[in-house]
């Protein structure tokens, strides 16, 4: 079995190199926005959409035009990859998976990528990478890089530059050490409830930091734009955002590892479907305004978390030889596992499930997790795994943090 791995380290560039890195990121953003503007103009004129290859031809022209000659000084491959990203964004848009591509802003998701190992060198022993036109750049080497080099990405996060090195590894087909199956219900009050009865509370420190973030953002709004104090505040916010992301990621990794280690089959709800069908969950007889506000806060924190959690579970299961099944979420929170009665009345409050027909009662989230597990077994028994069994994650997945 072939595995894709990604190692992420913090770069330690000299100030001049850091400026150069920022310049390359800026060129990529310029190319992306210019190509996007071009596509939009063509769209408005009713002309055909340009693909990646046609855009690359445009890029050559821009690199030679006097008004954008600075592009000629940036390495070509990351610029082309930017066009590839735009192409993919458009394809996602055309196929209904995403919104229309938007212009990139300075300082948001600054990143660029070298798609071919011929374009960079990784000196694992000394913890440094060599990049075209940038030379050698040191990174904080927290672990060794294993496998065949595939591609390399540079990105900015919280005021620092990071390198992400993706490799491919050939390993023996794993056999999952456990034979058990588990249903997982993700939610707001409890981050996850398992059909075994175990629950995972969301991290408390996240809420604290989120509040602080809101405060800092209000402070930013009071400052005059682009002035010194505004910039300082902006940097403080970026740092805090990065910290929140680290806490969340750490929590998600610990939780997904625990579940993946202990169960060969993990059943989840298909959340893209659920967000539509169960959006009102938790607000039925909401016990008070404060509770709702807190739930809203947690939800905003965890919204991205759920998708990332599933992604982690999927690749971790792939590594261990287990599987993840995603099921239709309809009625999982309203079905009585004992008599099969389905009713919204069964779930009068957020916390407790009580069947109105047979009187069976249980923790509402654990009950949902049990129904999810049952639905997962049904899917597998029918062999109806089309769309339910996810293909093994082929995105680069393992992340090694060097903070």
Contacts of 167 (CB under 8 A, 6+ apart): 4, 5, 6, 7, 145, 146, 147, 148, 149, 150
**With respect to Zn ion, which residue has the nearer C-beta, 177 or 359?**
359
Distance CA 389, CA 383 (A): 10
Residue 323: CB minimum distance to Zn ion, A:
30
Which residues share a beta bridge with 335? 342
Q: Does 230 bind Zn ion (CB under 5 A)?
A: no
Burial group, residue 112, by CB count within 10 angstroms (0-12, 13-18, 19+): buried
Annotation marks residue 41 as catalytic: no
One character per residue 26-45, x = contact with Zn ion (rule: CB under 5 A): --------------------
Beta-carbon count within 10 A of 354 CB = 17
Q: Does 378 bind Zn ion (CB under 5 A)?
A: no
The number of residues making up the chain comes to: 403
Beta carbons of 263 and 369 less than 8 angstroms apart = no
341 three-class SS:
coil
**With respect to Zn ion, which residue has the nearer C-beta, 84 or 357?**
357
**With respect to Zn ion, which residue has the nearer C-beta, 243 or 330?**
330
Sign of torsion, CA 42 48 53 58? negative
Contacts of 374 (CB under 8 A, 6+ apart): 183, 337
Q: Does 201 bind Zn ion (CB under 5 A)?
A: no
Stretch of 89-97, 207-215, 259-267, 335-343 contacting Zn ion, by CB under 5 A: 335-343
**Per annotation, catalytic residue among 365, 384, 395, 401:** 365
Which residues share a beta bridge with 9? 163
- What is residue 240's DSSP assignment? H
Using CB under 5 A as the binding criterion, the count of chain residues that bind Zn ion stands at: 8
Q: Does 338 bind Zn ion (CB under 5 A)?
A: yes
- The single residue among 360, 363, 400, 402 that binds Zn ion, judged by CB under 5 A, is 360
Q: Does 339 bind Zn ion (CB under 5 A)?
A: yes
**With respect to Zn ion, which residue has the nearer C-beta, 146 or 352?**
352
**With respect to Zn ion, which residue has the nearer C-beta, 152 or 366?**
366
- The single residue among 336, 366, 372, 393 that binds Zn ion, judged by CB under 5 A, is 336
Residue 335: CB minimum distance to Zn ion, A:
9
Closest CA to 304 of 258, 267, 249: 249
Which residues share a beta bridge with 314? none
Annotation marks residue 224 as catalytic: no
Sign of torsion, CA 216 221 223 228? positive
Q: Does 330 bind Zn ion (CB under 5 A)?
A: no
**Per annotation, catalytic residue among 20, 39, 269, 270:** 269
Q: Does 361 bind Zn ion (CB under 5 A)?
A: no
**Per annotation, catalytic residue among 39, 85, 185, 270:** 185
Q: Kindly report the three-state secondary structure assignment for every residue of 332-363.
A: CCCECCCCCCECHHHCCCCCEEECCCCCCEEE
Beta carbons of 112 and 25 less than 8 angstroms apart = yes
Positions 68 through 107 that interact with Zn ion (CB under 5 A): none
- The single residue among 50, 137, 193, 355 that binds Zn ion, judged by CB under 5 A, is 355
Residue 362: CB minimum distance to Zn ion, A:
10
Q: Does 342 bind Zn ion (CB under 5 A)?
A: no
Q: Cite the beta strand spans of 158-264 per DSSP E.
A: 160-170, 181-186, 192-194, 199-200
Annotation marks residue 67 as catalytic: no
Q: Does 352 bind Zn ion (CB under 5 A)?
A: no
Interacting residue ranges for Zn ion, rule: CB under 5 A: 336, 338-339, 341, 355, 357-358, 360
> What positions carry a catalytic annotation?
185, 269, 365
């Amino acid at each position: 079995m072939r595995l894709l791995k990604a190692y992420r380290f913090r770069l330690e560039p000299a100030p001049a190199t850091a400026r150069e890195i920022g310049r390359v990121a800026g060129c990529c953003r310029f190319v992306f926005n210019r190509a996007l503007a071009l596509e939009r103009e063509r769209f408005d004129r009713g002309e055909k959409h340009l693909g990646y290859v046609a855009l690359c031809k445009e890029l050559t022209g821009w690199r030679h035009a006097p008004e954008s000659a600075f592009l000629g000084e940036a390495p070509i491959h990351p610029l082309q990859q930017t066009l590839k990203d735009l192409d993919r964004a458009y394809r996602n848009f055309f196929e209904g998976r995403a919104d229309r591509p938007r212009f990139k802003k300075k300082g948001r998701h600054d990143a660029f990528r070298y798609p071919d190992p011929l374009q960079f060198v990784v000196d694992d022993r000394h913890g440094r990478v060599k990049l075209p036109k940038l030379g050698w750049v040191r990174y904080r080497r927290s672990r060794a890089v294993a496998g065949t080099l595939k591609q390399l990405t540079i990105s900015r996060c919280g005021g620092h530059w990071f390198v992400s090195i993706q490799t491919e590894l050939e390993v023996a087909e794993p056999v999952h050490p456990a034979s058990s199956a588990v249903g997982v219900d993700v939610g707001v009050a409890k981050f996850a409830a398992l059909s075994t009865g175990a629950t995972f509370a969301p991290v408390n420190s996240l809420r604290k930091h989120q509040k602080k973030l809101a405060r800092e953002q209000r402070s930013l709004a009071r400052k005059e734009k682009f002035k010194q104090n505004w910039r300082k505040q902006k940097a403080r916010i970026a740092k805090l955002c990065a910290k929140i992301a680290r806490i969340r990621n750490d929590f998600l990794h610990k939780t997904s590892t625990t579940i993946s280690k202990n169960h060969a089959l993990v059943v989840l709800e298909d959340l893209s479907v659920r967000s539509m069908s169960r959006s009102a969950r938790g607000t039925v007889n909401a016990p008070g305004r404060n509770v709702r506000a807190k739930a809203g806060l947690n939800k905003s924190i965890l919204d991205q978390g759920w998708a990332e959690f599933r992604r982690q579970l999927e690749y971790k299961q792939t590594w261990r030889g287990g599987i993840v099944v995603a099921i239709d979420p309809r009625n999982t929170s309203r079905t009585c596992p004992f008599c099969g009665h389905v009713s919204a009345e069964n779930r009068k409050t957020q916390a407790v499930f009580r069947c109105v027909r047979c009187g069976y009662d249980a923790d509402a989230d654990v009950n949902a997790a049990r129904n999810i597990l049952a639905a997962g077994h049904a899917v597998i028994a029918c062999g109806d795994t089309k769309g339910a069994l996810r293909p093994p994650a082929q995105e680069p997945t393992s992340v090694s943090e060097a903070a």
